A and B are shown apart, each in its own frame.
Chain A
């Protein structure tokens, strides 16, 4: 059964107000709390380790899979999920983890997600992190995402974490084959004493593979962020990383670019910038009648949208 806290967590991480349409698997405090397969999407429990296999039939179009994880007690949770996205399909997968930690012990969820996006398939993957709870217990999320994109496949990745998570280390590894397309958009806001690290490595193996990574973050208070975004081009390919951070108060941000070409027709670009909110932006919005705080919120909301 889902209680009020569970429902709020679900809404935060998966924009769900109730049990989702289509296929879903809800994991609550390390246990299965609900599951539904459909004619085209099969969800089965892994035999050898905790986690699920999500198998999407070739040609499945316009369907979605929701696989939220919610933690409402102190727990160390680890899962391995595997996704088989059948050739020519077009699907939306919404993952995400919400933690409500009322106690003084830590709550931790480590998820390993492995995707096989088959020939010509199109997948949008949304992963949201959310943490709450007044206890002193740490809220920790360490997702690892591995994506293999076969010929003509398209992957859109949206990774969002706005406050609430004390420690996060996000590892993302993507391999692109011939004519595969990748768009990653990462949004991160840390405050208080939070730490966040994001490592994204994209390997472009196939001819005409393209990758675009747009990372935007805001670091407030005493929080720390480290971005290590790397593109590796092994063929005629194009890749672009854009990494923008707004830094406030006593926060610390490291943006470590890495682009490596193993082929003379690889075109790789890395842009990175860290800075505070420009005072002209604040003043401009204040001349429209906003207070300084309202102006700051407006600028940050726009930036992280």
Chain B
């Protein structure tokens, strides 16, 4: 279990600006949490605080009862925390195979399975350098694969669907759904997509640096249903039948 107790985070530009205020969360093993809310509300900041990229000015973080607040990124990674970046970096000279090996999967067959799980043809990608020739969507999928490569205690995915085409999106939601068949991971997904929300055991609403509500998937979907009542394309959207439509509802 991962617990955030009274966590506050600030960034210092010219002066100290609070970006997270009194965050309290208890995230259980083997559950899927979807974090959603307006842009700039603090979702990615919570993810980065869990990973140790941001250090809190106040509060504690506990992993299975052990205080990890003072631990850095590397130590937290070794304790089984993983974070898939919203905008992952490219690496000139580093091949997909090598990155997956760094993530802990050195076996070629297993690497191929991972790429398949994120909707990439292993044959085409395994020996490619993660350089500027990668599109945003391809990069995102490699990023997701680096997390799936590890048997994690806590896996945080930051808008995994961004830039990914609909066919792969289908594959991706299946991969998330089936993750718990293999691993006992606490899964946190930052997303605005209805189809990801449908996977949630609990939905965490974040806005203005605070957790405004923790609710059930049913509640949030009912709310969306209400908002989208007038949208004629809704059903097709959910089924993934409209390839060109981008809907953030």
Q: Which residues of B contact A299 (CB under 8 A)?
A: 91, 94
With A and B bound together, what is the CA distance between A244 and B93 in angstroms?
12
Given A287-B83, A288-B102, A289-B77, 7 other A-B contacts at CB below 8 A? Answer: A287-B51, A287-B77, A288-B82, A290-B74, A298-B94, A302-B91, A303-B92
Complex: how many Å from CA A285 to CA B99? 9
Interface positions, chain B 57-97, Cβ under 8 Å from A, are 72-74, 77-78, 82-83, 85, 87-89, 91-94
- Given known A-B contacts A286-B74, A290-B74, A303 and B85 have beta carbons under 8 A apart: no
Chain A residues, CB < 8 A from B88: 280, 284
**Does chain A have a CB within 8 A of B146?**
yes
| A281 at interface by CB-CB < 8 Å | yes
Contacts of B72 in A (CB 8 A): 286
Cα–Cα distance between A305 and B91 once the two chains are bound (Å) = 12
> With contacts A280-B85, A283-B73, A302-B98 known, is A288 near B103, CB below 8 A?
yes
A279 nearest in chain B by CB position: B89
Q: How far is A289 from B81 in the complex, measured between Cα atoms in Å?
A: 9
* Contact present for A278 and B93 (CB under 8 Å): no
Given A286-B73, A289-B74, residue A302 in contact with residue B89 (CB < 8 A): no
- B102-A298 in contact (CB<8A): yes
Contact pattern, A 268-305, Cβ under 8 Å of B = 1, otherwise 0: 00000000001011011111111110000011011111
Q: Which residue of A lies closest to B87 (CB)?
A: A280
* B53 interfacial contact with A, CB 8 Å: yes
- Among the listed B77, B83, B92, B102, which residue makes an inter-chain contact with A244, where contact means beta carbons less than 8 Å apart? B92
A281 and B89 within 8 A (CB): yes
Contact with B along A255-278 (1 / 0, CB 8 A): 000000000000000000000001
Shortest Cβ gap from A297 to chain B (Å): 12
A66 to chain B, nearest CB (A): 27
Most chain B CB neighbours (cut-off 10 Å) among A283, A284, A299, A301? A284
Question: Complex Cα distance A298/B78, Å?
Answer: 18
Given the interface pairs A280-B85, A298-B102, A302-B98, the reply to whether A286 lies near B93 with Cβ below 8 Å is no
* Complex Cα–Cα for A298 and B95 (A): 12
Given contacts A290-B102, A298-B94, are A284 and B77 in contact (CB under 8 A)?
no
Give the size range of B's interface with the partner: 20 to 34
Q: Which residues of B contact A289 (CB under 8 A)?
A: 74, 77-78, 104
**Cα distance, A304 to B92, chains bound together (Å):** 9
**How far apart sit A118 and B103, CA to CA, in the bound complex (Å)?**
48
Set of chain B residues within 8 Å of A287, measured between Cβ atoms? 51, 53, 73, 77, 82-83
Tell me which residues across on chain A come within 8 A of B85, comparing CB atoms: 280, 284
15 contacting pairs across A/B (C-beta < 8 A):
A283-B53, A285-B102, A286-B74, A287-B51, A287-B53, A287-B77, A287-B82, A287-B83, A288-B104, A290-B77, A302-B92, A302-B94, A302-B98, A303-B93, A304-B93
Complex Cα spacing A289 to B150, Å: 11
Q: In the docked arrangement, what's the CA distance between A17 and B164, Å?
A: 49
Task: Show the binding face of A for B, using Cβ within 8 Å.
Answer: 216, 244, 278, 280-281, 283-292, 298-299, 301-305
Bound-state Cα–Cα, A302 to B88, Å: 17
Distance of A283 Cα from B73 Cα, bound (Å): 8
Bound-state Cα–Cα, A302 to B74, Å: 20
- Smallest CB-CB separation from A286: which chain B residue? B73
Contact B78 A302 (CB under 8 A): no
**Once bound together, how far apart are the Cα atoms of A290 and B150, in whole Å?**
14
- Taking CB atoms, residues of chain B closer than 8 Å to A285 are 102
In the complex, chain B residues whose CB is within 8 Å of the CB of A298: 94, 102
Question: Nearest 7 CB-CB pairs, A to B?
Answer: A302-B93, A302-B94, A280-B89, A289-B77, A286-B73, A303-B93, A281-B89
Query: Which one of A286, A301, A302 lies within 8 Å of B77 (CB-CB)?
Result: A286
Please indicate the chain A residues that have their CB under 8 angstroms from the CB of B77 in the complex.
286-290
Residue of chain A at shortest CB distance from B75 = A289
Shortest C-beta distance, B146 to chain A (Å), equals 7
With A280-B89, A281-B89 as known contacts, state yes or no: A292 contacts B74, CB within 8 Å: yes
Please give, as numbers and ranges, the residues of chain A lying within 8 Å of B87 by CB-CB distance.
280
Chain B residues near A292 (CB-CB < 8 A): 74
- Say whether A278 contacts B92, CB under 8 Å: no
CA distance A191 to B246 in the complex (A): 50
Set of chain A residues within 8 Å of B82, measured between Cβ atoms = 287-288
Bound-complex Cα distance A286 to B74 (A): 5
Residue with the highest number of chain B CB atoms closer than 10 Å, among A278, A284, A288: A288
CB distance from B40 to the nearest CB of A (A): 19
Q: How far is the CB of A298 from chain B (nearest CB, A)?
A: 7
Residues of chain A within 8 A (CB-CB) of B98 are 302
A281 touches which one: B53, B91, B146, B150 (CB < 8 A)? Answer: B91
Partner of B89, one of A284, A290, A301: A284
Give the residues in chain B near A284, CB-CB below 8 Å: 85, 88-89
Complex CA gap A288/B152 in Å reads 11
Which residues, 214 to 244 on B, are CB-close (under 8 Å) to A? none
In the complex, A305 Cα to B95 Cα: how many Å?
11
